Amino acid sequence: MSTNKKLLPTVRDAILQSLRAGVVPRIGQQHIQVGRVGEVRALLGDIERIADGGSGIRFIIGEYGSGKTFFLHLIRSIALEKKLITVHADLTPDRRLQASGGQARALYQELMRNLSTRSKPDGGALSSVVERFVTTALTEAKAQGITPDAAIRRKLADLSEMVGGYAFADVIAAYWRGYDSGDDVLRGNAVRWLRAEFSTKTDARKALGVRTIIDDASIYDHLKLFACFVRLAGYSGLLVCIDEMVNLFKLSSGQARRSNYEQILRILNDSLQGSACGMGMLLGGTPEFLMDPRRGLHSYEALQSRLAVNTFAKKGLVDFDGPVLTLPNLSQEDLFVLLCKICKVHRNGRDDIDLMPDDMIQAFMEYSMKTVGSAYYRTPRKTITAFVKLLSVLEQNPGTNWREVLDRDPITKDHDPDLFDGTEDDSPPTSETEGSSNDDGLSTFKL
């Protein structure tokens, strides 16, 4: 966006509120993106390739607080803008790529729940996508004078070649039947099937007459299938974003880790060989997830050579072409620029008031560094929340000297608690950064 242009108030508020709450904004990330031109370009290339029917996989590797999640969300919104469907989820102990106790299915469910389109960027767009497909099929059927069911089957003929493709076509057809006959139960069952909510084949057969379900073993196949499906529905492709890959590293069972890594290898091979059409994967993780020779990806030999850290020391350009993309941590300068941009978003074109001159931003950073301590260097989350809060205090109390506000003792002056509760407590930030999932973490800001 041109920097002079006014933002929609909704976008501005969404950004500021997310930041204030310490989470990554769902929209408008582009307004506060700082630097990382190379990375953005590389991913943009990926997305365009996916839109052209190609495939791609990227491991986004960065420290806690280096901005992985923010970056993933930025890429996701770019993808949406490029007419891709996106699904995203964090891995958790209960959600894995490969499992036998339903954890993989849980991941698939989560992914489908978060299925987003440009007009529904917050998820829940599964039925929109299905109906849009069915609508086009109906239009076709009308034009060609065949039954809608036949039109659907014909359109999905390509899919039946793929694993689970036949059942998938059945389910889409069932959705149409349910809609056509007003049978909401049938339609609901179809959606449930698509969300992998059937846990047994018997149930699925009873409800929909299909012999297969989406289970732990087939989620990746169904993702591929779904990627083809969204292209048939008129979208450019599917982008799968999976964050917190470190949960695989944390698996205590070596067998479980290994099978997950095998799955990653399969995805990697498919993507690199281009056999997953129109589908891209973004996997966010920490360096130890990648490099640890005992439990990380590198513990799996076949992945070692494919994912060896190779981005430096070749006396040419930094390598943005490999599957591993490393995100550096936020530097002081980056943070400074970021705060400037937040200021600008907050001002939103009103040039008359400049709540935060540059030197104050610097003073604020120093203050924050002293107050937050070591977490300051790990993640800018606390600094940013405090900053946004300070901005709003200044806005609501015109004439307040920002220095006075900063100099106020945060502990004794509790009449202004808003301002400081972000910076006061040292221990929560650290534990939060390390313990909680980074799903929504502002820690994901980065160049």
Site for another protein in 299-318 (CB under 8 A): 299, 304, 308-318
Q: How far is the CB of 108 from another protein (least distance, A)?
A: 21
374 binds another protein (CB under 8 A): yes
Q: Which two tokens stand for residue 266?
A: 């399969």
Interaction mask 157-186, another protein, x per CB under 8 A: ----------------------x-------
Q: How far is the CB of 395 from another protein (least distance, A)?
A: 24
Q: Which is nearer to another protein, 189 or 218 (CB)?
A: 189
Q: Which of 113, 110, 159 is nearest to 133 (CA)?
A: 159
Helices 103-113 and 219-232, axial angle in degrees (round to 10)? 20
Residue from the set 59, 133, 168, 198 that interacts with another protein by CB under 8 A: 133
- Spatial distance between the Cα atoms of 347 and 341, rounded to a whole number of angstroms: 10
59 binds another protein (CB under 8 A): no
Q: Which is nearer to another protein, 87 or 104 (CB)?
A: 87
Count of residues interacting with another protein (CB under 8 A): 93
- Spatial distance between the Cα atoms of 171 and 208, rounded to a whole number of angstroms: 7
Which range touches another protein (CB under 8 A), out of 98-106, 131-139, 192-200, 201-209? 131-139
353 binds another protein (CB under 8 A): no
- Spatial distance between the Cα atoms of 293 and 297, rounded to a whole number of angstroms: 8
146 binds another protein (CB under 8 A): no
291 binds another protein (CB under 8 A): yes
138 binds another protein (CB under 8 A): yes
Amino acid at 160: S
Q: How far is the CB of 118 from another protein (least distance, A)?
A: 5
- Spatial distance between the Cα atoms of 441 and 380, rounded to a whole number of angstroms: 10
Residue from the set 4, 119, 253, 427 that interacts with another protein by CB under 8 A: 119
Which residues from 379-438 bind another protein, rule CB under 8 A?
Answer: none
243 binds another protein (CB under 8 A): no
Q: Which residue has the tokens 């770019």?
A: 78
Sheet strands side by side (includes 237-243): 84-90, 237-243, 279-285, 55-62, 324-327
For 243, the 3-state DSSP assignment is strand
- Spatial distance between the Cα atoms of 259 and 261, rounded to a whole number of angstroms: 5
Q: Which is nearer to another protein, 311 or 400 (CB)?
A: 311
Q: Which is nearer to another protein, 203 or 425 (CB)?
A: 425
Q: Which is nearer to another protein, 56 or 95 (CB)?
A: 56
Q: How far is the CB of 37 from another protein (least distance, A)?
A: 5
Which range touches another protein (CB under 8 A), out of 193-201, 232-240, 386-394, 400-408? 232-240
Burial bucket for residue 282 (CB in 10 Å: 0-12, 13-18, 19+)? buried
Q: Which residue has the tokens 């049938």?
A: 186
Yes or no: say if 238 and 281 are a contact pair by the CB < 8 Å rule. no
Q: How far is the CB of 94 from another protein (least distance, A)?
A: 25
83 binds another protein (CB under 8 A): yes
78 binds another protein (CB under 8 A): yes
Burial bucket for residue 404 (CB in 10 Å: 0-12, 13-18, 19+)? exposed
Q: Which is nearer to another protein, 92 or 304 (CB)?
A: 304
Yes or no: say if 387 and 379 are a contact pair by the CB < 8 Å rule. no
82 binds another protein (CB under 8 A): yes
Q: Which is nearer to another protein, 139 or 199 (CB)?
A: 139
Yes or no: say if 58 and 264 are a contact pair by the CB < 8 Å rule. no
Q: How far is the CB of 61 from another protein (least distance, A)?
A: 7
Q: How far is the CB of 103 from another protein (least distance, A)?
A: 25
Up-side HSE of residue 214: CA atoms within 13 Å toward CB? 28
**DSSP run (H or E) holding 10:** helix 9-21
Residue from the set 219, 365, 391, 394 that interacts with another protein by CB under 8 A: 365
Close Cβ partners of 87 (under 8 Å, ≥ 6 residues apart): 111, 112, 114, 115, 116, 223, 238, 239, 240, 241
Which range touches another protein (CB under 8 A), out of 17-25, 91-99, 105-113, 358-366? 358-366
327 binds another protein (CB under 8 A): yes
